[in-house]
Amino acid sequence: MLIIPAIDLKNGFCVRLLQGKKEEVTTYSDDPVSIALKWQSCGAKLLHIIDLDGAFSGSQKNFQSILNIRKAVDMLIQVGGGIRDLQSIDSLISSGVHRVILGTVAIENPKLVKEAVKNYPGRILVSIDAKDSKVAIRGWVQSTKVEAIELALRMQDYGVAGLVYTDISRDGMLTGPNIEAIQEIVNISEIPVIASGGVSSIDDLKKLSEITKLWGVIIGKALYSGKINLKEAVDLIT
Question: For residue 19, what pLDDT is reported?
Answer: 55
Confidence of residue 14 (pLDDT cuts 50, 70, 90): confident
Asked whether residue 97 carries a pLDDT value surpassing 80, the answer given is yes
- What average pLDDT does the chain have? 91
Q: Are 218 and 196 in contact (CB under 8 A)?
A: yes
- What structural domains and CATH numbers belong to the chain? 2-237 (3.20.20.70)
Q: Which residues of 141-155 are buried (b: 16+ CB within 10 A; e: fewer)?
A: eeeeebebbebbebb
41-58 pLDDT per residue, tens: 999 999 999 999 887 777
What average pLDDT does this structure show over 225-234? 95
Looking at residue 210, what DSSP letter applies?
A: T
Confidence of residue 15 (pLDDT cuts 50, 70, 90): confident
- DSSP result, 121-177: TT-EEEEEEEETTEEEETTTTEEEEEEHHHHHHHHHHHT-SEEEEEETTTTTT-S--
226: left (phi over 0), alpha (psi -120 to 50) or beta: left
| Catalytically active residues, by annotation | 8, 129
108-118 pLDDT per residue, tens: 999 999 999 99
140-174 pLDDT per residue, tens: 667 888 999 999 999 999 999 999 999 886 655 56
Confidence of residue 209 (pLDDT cuts 50, 70, 90): very high
Coil, strand or helix: which one is 178? coil
Asked whether residue 219 carries a pLDDT value surpassing 80, the answer given is yes
**31-39 long-range contacts, Cβ below 8 Å, gap at least 24?**
32/7, 32/65, 32/68, 32/69, 33/68, 33/69, 33/72, 35/7, 36/7, 36/69, 36/72, 36/73, 37/72, 37/73, 39/5, 39/7, 39/223, 39/230
| Nearest CA-CA partner of 161 in 81, 78, 91 | 78
Contacts of 150 (CB under 8 A, 6+ apart): none
119-140 pLDDT per residue, tens: 999 999 999 998 888 888 776 6
